[in-house]
Chain A
Amino acid sequence: DTGVSQDPRHKITKRGQNVTFRCDPISEHNRLYWYRQTLGQGPEFLTYFQNEAQLEKSRLLSDRFSAERPKGSFSTLEIQRTEQGDSAMYLCASSLDSPNYGYTFGSGTRLTVV
């Protein structure tokens, strides 16, 4: 296992289209997180899964956003009716139950909405 994988690395979409991103965490990690990072800012928390249960959603995650982790392994983040303000780097991370060792982040998906 080489770390957290995210796909695609880059996505350009037209405003109003739907997009879906995938994250494959480190296999023994049961916690999975999504963060969003805009230019010049640090990552901001979006949502958190413990196995397949989504335990928290940030208020940054509007109704157009939905995340799933159906079998407690990989996760998907879908954005419906994309807006230009959705342009950002979407980062996935995973950790063990005790996150004291910090997360392991993936390389991110760079979304550009035109």
Chain B
Amino acid sequence: GQQLNQSPQSMFIQEGEDVSMNCTSSSIFNTWLWYKQDPGEGPVLLIALYKAGELTSNGRLTAQFGITRKDSFLNISASIPSDVGIYFCAGQNSGGSNYKLTFGKGTLLTVNP
């Protein structure tokens, strides 16, 4: 089945630093999504990417859909303590199974004030 490799597994940074995390896949996806999950809560959608090469921003967050459609990255600029959480990438196909998301294992972000 499809697998997503997300790296790094965890990051510990100082407030104000920039963060970068990425996701690679063994196969092509037509949509890439980035979610954030706080402890005890469900994932919340941060950014959705629909086209290869697309670069999209949402406030301090920027994400890109790789040209090969097999990878994506997420950058967070000027991190703040509330950025703490687990960040997940997810890939979505088109066609008959376009409802199903395949998630990475997540990147745990810790921000030291």
Residues in chain A within 8 A of chain B (CB atoms): 4, 9, 31, 33, 35, 40-45, 48, 56, 91, 93, 95, 99-108, 110
Q: How far is the CA of A16 from the CA of B80 in the complex (A)?
A: 45
Residues in chain B within 8 A of chain A (CB atoms): 4, 6, 31, 33, 35, 40-45, 48, 50, 88, 90, 92, 97-106
A-B contact pairs, 19 of them (CB 8 A): A35-B101, A42-B4, A42-B6, A42-B103, A42-B105, A43-B103, A99-B92, A99-B98, A99-B99, A100-B50, A101-B45, A101-B48, A102-B35, A102-B45, A103-B101, A107-B40, A107-B41, A107-B42, A108-B40
Q: Using Cβ atoms and an 8 Å threshold, which residues of chain B touch A40?
A: 105-106
B99 touches A33 (CB 8 A): yes
Q: Using Cβ atoms and an 8 Å threshold, which residues of chain B touch A106?
A: 42
- Knowing A100-B31, A107-B40, A110-B40 are in contact, say whether A43-B101 is a contact too (CB < 8 A): yes
Q: How far is the CA of A31 from the CA of B4 in the complex (A)?
A: 24
B50 touches A42 (CB 8 A): no
- Knowing A33-B99, A43-B101, A45-B101 are in contact, say whether A103-B45 is a contact too (CB < 8 A): yes
A91 touches B100 (CB 8 A): no
Q: How far is the CB of B65 from chain A (nearest CB, A)?
A: 13
Q: Using Cβ atoms and an 8 Å threshold, which residues of chain B touch A33?
A: 99
Q: How far is the CB of B104 from chain A (nearest CB, A)?
A: 5
Q: Which of A33, A42, A44, A100 has the most CB of B within 10 A?
A: A42
Q: How far is the CB of B108 from chain A (nearest CB, A)?
A: 9
For residue A40, which residue of chain B has the nearest CB? B105
For residue A92, which residue of chain B has the nearest CB? B42
B106 touches A31 (CB 8 A): no
